[in-house]
Amino acid sequence: MRFFFVRHGQTDYNAQGRVQGQIDIPLNELGRWQASQIGDRLHGYGLGGIIASDLSRASDTAQAIAGHHQALTLLTTPLLREINYGAFEGMQFPEIQSTYPEEYLQWREEQIDYTPPGAESIYEQRARARKAILWVREHSPDADVAVVAHGGIMRSLIANLLDLGLEQQNRLHFDNTSLTVVTETPRGMALMLANDTSHLRDRSPYP
């Protein structure tokens, strides 16, 4: 079984440097183009399932992939939503720093177990990611599956599959519509491709 993890396309919040979390922000023009490019890239793959977060920026990106796989039904689940950043959601980093100076300092120092006010903890996110993996396996057993989600939850999903700790998880990064592939092997799960955006290189009509 191969997991084709795709981060959603760009939104205005991404472009503005705002914390999105679970706010349902749609793709912007560039994000829709990025979605079409990852859709084209995965056109020739024999996917057995396409599963996405139910937030529109992920589900619309997944729909661009599903358009090339007419026999498949796109499935969505809230288990794949981005981590809930609580009071920080919708804010730019300077706003967070001025409104929550002490909390911002802890957050930016990347204290592994720090949780912003009203947010989902990293432990809760890891537990949700484990449930999400079981859900994906149940709905796409023994098949290559595209999983379209968000940067934060993708770190937890992949860390769970690869048995990475929290420190290693925090070092993972995913660009908009990047492709990351994790494959089941006789020795366990293996990372075969990480944060690949070659489908976007030198093609963007946007500055």
By annotation, the residues acting in catalysis are 8, 82
Question: Which two tokens mark 3?
Answer: 């997991």
The tokens describing 193, both together, are 């491709």
User: For the packed helices 151-162 and 122-139, what is the interaxial angle rounded to 10 degrees?
Assistant: 70
What letter would DSSP give residue 88?
Answer: G
Both structure tokens of 120: 């989902």
* Nearest in space to 42 (alpha carbons), one of 144, 132, 135, 155: 144
Length of the chain: 207
Q: Which of 19, 25, 1, 23 is nearest to 10 (CA)?
A: 25
- Secondary structure letter of residue 163 according to DSSP: T
The one-letter amino acid at 207: P
Short-list 55, 60, 43, CA closest to 152: 55
